[in-house]
Amino acid sequence: MSNPQPLDHQPLNPQPLNGLKVVEFTHMVMGPAVGAILAPLGAEVVRVEPIGGDRTRRLIGSGAGYFPMYNRNKASICLDLKSPDGLAVARDLVAQADILVENYRPGAMDRLGLDYDSLAAANPRLIYCSEKGFLPGPYEQRTALDEVAQMMGGLAYMTGPPGRPLRAGSSVIDVTGGMFGVIAILAAVEERHRTGRGQKVQSSLFETTVYLIGQHMAQMAVTGQPVAPMPARISAWAIYDVFETADDSHIFIGVVTDALWEKFCTLFALDDLWADESIRENSARVLARDRIMPQVRALVKGWRRDDLIARLEGTGLPFAPIGRPEDMFDDPHLLASGGLEPVTLSDGRDTMLPALPIEMNGGRPGDGSRLPAAGADTRSILASLGYDETRIAALVDTGAVEGE
């Protein structure tokens, strides 16, 4: 048996899902997030968009980043699914696919005849992933959004101060729901290796939210006490806070072990606190928090942000300057580690956006990012299905398909 290559000689862009064909009937964030994970891992992902392109492309405000973030490295075909010819093309696409992803309202795919049972009859190896608001049950026909799920599932309650529920600052449930969809898909792919058959899998916004707040449910079960929102919580550690610095910046510092407490006191010459043997143990420090925190806040307020970071760097103490999204474009770690990849936006401008945040065999999946124009791949996709130029031209003429 040959020895494995050293990590230094591994491929820079691992493609473990190379050969898997994915067809997406998706919009907004949750559905596209599934393909956004599968594509840089090597899967061939085709987006089925309506004539004129997915409306997500044209969102403004907080939605302006949805399309470029979650639709890189995909191909695009524009179909009129209300026409028999456009629907026939969709069925031909799925007949050759390994995976279908959809996140339309409950029943929408069924009404088009693109439900799992109908498609699996022609392609029994198909893995059909539905990304919905709710898993099957009393709520399944409701329309859900990321924010609906956060409000309903307890996350907004835990994020905001008491009486002021607050959604998290990104589409965290959409994206995590997409991640759970990918987990289900890959589990189904593995099972297909043994059975030869695909299956329908689902993930949802509501159940994803409840899974994420499960730690607080468990806390209630353990303590018997209702859980306070995070801004009003009794922390598990005495020092686990955002502090103001001398230059009116902010930094988070956490002291989460007794060994780190000793290091913290030594690092900042807090001899009087370290001399108090009654607070050498974490639980005692939590109970003495009101006495400890004013002194620590005053200490941090005496340091400039960059000087404090330099002091904490390499100590093992958890710390974090408070970053903003725009700061990440210039983050030295992301730039050095391949955490950002080049993307050309729809208007031709170049930028950098987050790469898939994993490493495999010493390499980062993905190799630059292609953001498809609406219908840019329609003709090549139809040709790959065996359609000749005459048939393609006829489909374009009737408006069943649209493409360059």
* 239-244 sheet: strands from edge to edge: 239-244, 250-255, 319-321
- Judge whether 363 and 12 are in contact, CB under 8 Å: yes
Residue type at 215? Q
- pLDDT score of 236: 87
- pLDDT score of 368: 67
Residue 9, classed as helix, strand or coil, is: helix
Domains of the chain by start residue, with CATH:
7-213+341-402 (3.40.50.10540), 235-324 (3.30.1540.10)
- pLDDT score of 234: 79
Tokens of 304: 């400039």
- pLDDT score of 3: 36
Q: How many CB atoms lie within 10 A of CB 369?
A: 21
**CA–CA separation, 184 and 90 (whole Å):** 23
Residue 330, classed as helix, strand or coil, is: helix
- Does the reported pTM lie above 0.85? yes
Q: For helices 214-223 and 205-212, what crossing angle results, to 10°?
A: 50
- Judge whether 101 and 70 are in contact, CB under 8 Å: no
Each residue's pLDDT tens digit in the chain (404 positions)? Answer: 333 333 344 446 899 999 999 999 999 999 999 999 999 999 999 999 999 999 999 999 999 999 999 999 999 999 999 999 999 999 999 999 999 999 999 999 999 999 999 999 999 999 999 999 999 999 999 999 999 999 999 999 999 999 999 999 999 999 999 999 999 999 999 999 999 999 999 999 999 999 999 999 999 999 999 999 998 887 889 999 999 999 999 999 999 999 999 999 999 999 999 999 999 999 999 999 999 999 999 999 999 999 999 999 999 999 999 999 999 999 999 999 999 999 999 899 999 999 999 999 989 998 767 899 999 999 999 999 999 999 999 999 999 999 87
Which candidate, 304, 312, 316, 189, places its Cα nearest to that of 250?
304
- pLDDT score of 13: 83
**CA–CA separation, 264 and 258 (whole Å):** 10
